[in-house]
Structures are given as structure tokens and as C-alpha cells.
A and B are shown apart, each in its own frame.
Chain A
Amino acid sequence: MNESATIISQAAAVVLKRQRNSMLRHARYVVSENPVTGFAFTLFVLIALCALIGPYVVPYNPLASDTTVTLKPPSLEHWFGTDQLGRDIFSRVVVATRLDFVIALASVALVFAMGGFAGVAAGYFGGWTDRIVSRIADTIMAFPLFVLAMGIVAALGNTVTNIVIATAIINFPLYARVARAEANVRREAGFVQAARLSGNGEFRIPLMHILPNIMPIMMVQISLTMGYAILNAAGLSFIGLGVRPPTPEWGIMVAEGAANIISGEWWIALFPGAALMLAVFCFNLLGDGLRDLVDPQRRT
């Protein structure tokens, strides 16, 4: 071993000893390096808290209407004002967090499972698997996605479950395509050949070797799709599909407040809309931060 290599390796040993708890350290490094990610993460925690404990801590019952205080602007008693039925908008906005969050989470989990595996299989095995998956994805992509969601919910019935299913279906092509492209690129990579030489079978390789490598990219997709799923659910509710009144949900609340905008009662639509925007914004920012965390190549 020549001298310079020895020096380098000794230095490396010292550095490595300090990095025992590397995962947590890296998390802290990423958050401190990019304050925007830190901000997004805090916001995410806030939203999750709202979803979890919101219904228990809100000042008013979100469904209780009080005809004596209809259409009141924001005040100390009602932070976000009241709507046409006298319901407290602040309570409704906070409680709605849970529903939108759960819809988004469920549809993303569903589509990640379906699309991710289908895409990796298509990209890795090629042939008929590829053809079938691509054909399905292409057929779905042939429709403007929101329009297809409308059609699916209209056909299947006006329920929240069907919103989840529709959102999962319209996001399937995206996940399948991304997973397929990434698997395809890695299919003939050196380390995959090496894995074959080491005795890994044809089902083990996509699962244990390729999938972990594409996780960072899928993570970014998941975060971005969470935002898109919320927008989708809100949009469907806005036109009357899926969620029905009096359930508090951001999209439906904006619809209920839409008519009042022209008469100047802005608070009914603004606060749920702003909450919507904030949630989606948070998920989009989080996507970038997540990628830094999960991808070992970004570690110094």
C-alpha cells in the first residue's frame, strides 16, 4: 500500500468514527442547509397535528348551525367568521384537514403500490408485461385526467371512497411511467449484471436491487402527488362530486362560499382556499427535502 493511500485511509477512519449516528446527523444537516425544507417540514407537522387532534380541540362544533350569527366577518369570537348557516368557519377548516389528508394519503398509497410495482415490472421484464402496463397507462392518459376522474366518480357513485379510487386511477400512469423509466435505465447497469453474477434471481433483482435505488425518485413523486390528490379531491367536491354537505371539506367549503364572493363576503371561501393552498404548497416543498434525505448520493 503506498503512502498516500495510507494517509487517506487513516483520515477516513477518524472521520468515520465521528459519524456513528449518520442518519440523524444527515437529517439535521439537510434541514439546516436548506431552511425552506425545515419550514416545509414544520408546516407538515402542523398539518398532521390538525388532522390528528383537530376535531377534539376546535372551539365550535363544525356541524352546528346558529342562525343568529350568519355571515359574520372574522372577529375574536369567530376567527374566520361564520357562513350562511352560522357555522364557525375556523372549526370547519381545521376539521376538514383530516378528511382531505386521509383522502390524499389513501389514494397515494394505493397508486404507489399499484403503479410502482407495475412500472418496475414493466421496465425490468419488458415484453408482454411492458406492453400491457403501457397500454393501460396510455389509455388512462388519453383522457384529460380531471375529466376522467369526474367520469369515474359519476359512474361509480358519489362517495369519498370513489374519490380515492378515481384519484388513484388517474395517477397510475405517472407512477408507472416514472418507475418504468427508472427501472429500464438500471436494467442493464453494471451492478445489475453483477447481481446476476452473484446469484440473484430474476425476481429478486427488481425487488431488492432496483426498487431501493429508485425510492428517492418515487418519494419525490409521492410528495408531489399528495398535493395533487388534495387539489383533485377539492376540485371534485367543488363541482358537487364526492363529498356532500354538510361534511366539512375544503373544496366544498369554497363552493359554498363562491356565491358570496360577489356580495363581498370573502371569508367564507378564502380561508378554506388558503388552507388548501398551504397544504399543497407544503407537500410540494417537502418533496425536494425528502429526496435529499433518502438519497445516499447526496450525503457528503
Chain B
Amino acid sequence: MLATIGKRLVTVIPTLIGVIIVTFLLTRVLPGDPAVYFAGPAATPQSIADIRKQLGFDRPLPEQFLRYVNDLAHGNFGNSLSTGRPVSTEITSRLPASAELTLTGLLLSMLIAVPLGVLAAVRQGSWIDHLCRIVATVGVSLPVFFTGLLLVYIFYFRLGWAPAPIGRLDVFYTAPAQYTGFYLIDSLLTGDFEAFRAALSQLLLPALTLGIFSLAPIARMTRASMLAVLASDFVRTARASGLKTSTVIITYAFRNAMLPVVTTLGMVFSFLLGANVLVEKVFAWPGIGSYAVEALIASDFAPVQGFVLTMAILYVALNMAIDVLYGIIDPRVRLEG
């Protein structure tokens, strides 16, 4: 088991190197003088020259790269122009908000999509099968920001069920004590049920938006995978041996069908992390996505670079976790090395 994880870690290193190189290059392909971008729109020629010296833009490229890597190793992602604070601090403080949103959204979608896909495959041709296929096709076509706006219109403006989309908590409530940074978990840990309820009601619509967005690929993959497995030879053997339908579906079909679904999760995470940015803008969610968008509007480049790098590292870690999970389910990968 440890050997598998160890091997995966080794393969991840070249990927990380690639990521760091690409994010480094992002600043260096800026048209014109990069120092201007980092100095900001209101800079004087003197401050631009200062920034250039300070950030080392006058040095040869390889030396710049080494400086960059050195900075990263010390957790220095540069400073934000608009707030003046270090980018790394801002990102770490905002990360839990984005994480809570994304994970809740994913959880919601899996709770619906997986059973939907399984049922659609088991009862092929029934209404649930048609429903699943419609959901999958329509779901992939819906722009995530559009879904978010629609939900706000229906549930906030028309029905008044949901609170205003102004962030994680209404102004009347205070955030619970910081254990994990996840308001839901923290409020439960401190026993503050009022805060829990408030945080949950604010979280619901944006999480639902993300959930609807990721519903389609997961349902589609689950259905296709289940169908393929149900038609396979070993399920035929299981049936011919007289095993109960529930055993056949759960022990024999479902576990095998989950393998491609786990692989798809990697792609789904890629979409989710991107959709996160859009949803945070719609719901004014104080996560790292909105941080980057605000920085973009203000032509503040360092936060954008830090954001891209953080997302990439997160994604690499997630993919590694998925690989390990796959290895747990599928012994062929484990034992054949």
C-alpha cells in the first residue's frame, strides 16, 4: 500500500515541475514590460523601475526562475497591489470557503447522479432511464453561471426561500471559531446551531449550482459504465449461478462499474475548480476564485499568478488521491505494479 503511494508521489514530481514552469512562464509572456503589470496602473516610471529591480525582472531568465522557485519554497507568492498584503496569506485565508463550496457541491451531485445512473442502467428503457439521459444532455449544455442566476431568480426573488446571495453568512451572524475553516463543521463543533443554519442556507444555492453542473458527467458515466458491466460475461456467470439480483448489482456490477467513474472524477474536478470561479462571482462568495477575479479587474497580477498555481497544486493532489483510490478498488493496478 505504501509502495503504491510512494510510486505515485514519484510520478507526481515531474507534473509539479511542469506546473511551476508554466506559471512562471505566464508572467514572462506578458506583452510588454512585466514590471508595468506588477507596478499597477497608477505607477510612476520611478516605481516601475523600483519594482523591476525588486522583483528581479532585469536579471537573466534562468536566474529569475531560480528566484521564483526559491520564493515559492518559502511560501512567498508576492504581494497584492490592491490590498498590499501577501498573496499567500490571502489565499490561505480564503481557501476554506472555496473548499467548502466545492466539496458540498460535489457531494450533492454524487448523491443524486450515482443512484440515478445505476437505476437508469438497471431499468433500461424506463422513465428513469430517459430522465437520466435528458439530465445528462441538458446538464452539460447549461452554463454554470446561468444556472446560478436562474436559481437566484427563482428561489430568492420569486419564492423568497433562499437568502440574498451576498456571501457565506448574513451580516447579522458571526462566523464560528476557526477549527477547519469550514463554517458547517466549525459551527457544529462549537454547538452554535444558529450559525450552522445560517451558513447552510447561504451555502445551499451556490452548492446546488455546482452540483447541477457536475451532475451530468457523473450520471452519464455511471449509466454508461453500469450498462457495459451489466452486459459483461462475469455478470452473466453471476446470474447463471443464481445469485440474488441485489448481490449481482451491488457486489458484482456496481464495484466494477465504479472504476471508470472514479477516473472521470478527475475530469469532473477540473471542471468544478473552474466553475467554482464563476459561481463565486455570482454569489459573491469570498473564496479564492472571486479573489482572482477581483484582482483581474484591478489589473493586479500577482494574485492571479498565485491563484493559478494554488489551483494547479490542489488539482495535482486531488488527482493523486483519485489514483490511490482507484488502486484500492482495482487489485489489477495494485498487484501488477
Which residues of A line the B interface, CB within 8 A? Answer: 135, 138-139, 141-152, 154-157, 227, 231, 234-235, 238-241, 251, 254-255, 257-258, 261-262, 264, 266, 269-270, 273, 276-278, 280-281, 284-285
Contacts and interface: CB of A to CB of B under 8 A. Distances in A.
Given A146-B278, A155-B29, A258-B149, 10 more contacts: A135-B18, A139-B19, A154-B304, A156-B29, A235-B274, A239-B293, A251-B145, A261-B149, A264-B153, A266-B153
Give chain A's interface secondary structure class.
helix
Given A144-B270, A155-B26, A234 B308 contact: no
B274 A144 contact: yes
Name which of B165, B272, B315 has the most chain A CB atoms within 10 A of its CB: B315
B220 to A, nearest CB: 11
Chain B contact patch, size range = 35 or more
B315 A284 contact: no
Contact of A146 (B152, B157, B274, B316): B274
A273 B281 CA distance: 16
Contacts, number: 145
Interface string B159-194: 000001100000000000000000000000000000
B158 to A, nearest CB: 8
A139 B146 contact: no
| 10 closest residue pairs by CB, A with B | A146-B274, A144-B273, A273-B146, A139-B18, A281-B141, A280-B141, A151-B308, A155-B26, A147-B311, A144-B270
B146 A277 contact: yes
Contacts of A234: 143
Contacts of B144: 235
Contacts of B164: 262
Interface in B240-289: 269-275, 277-278, 281-282
A154 B296 contact: yes
B333 interface: no
11 contacts: A142-B18, A142-B312, A145-B270, A145-B271, A151-B308, A156-B29, A235-B145, A251-B145, A264-B153, A277-B142, A280-B143
Contacts of B64: none
A189 B274 CA distance: 39
A29 to B, nearest CB: 22
A258 B153 CA distance: 10
Contacts of A135: 14, 18
Contacts of A280: 140-141, 143
Contacts of B21: 139
Nearest to B142: A277
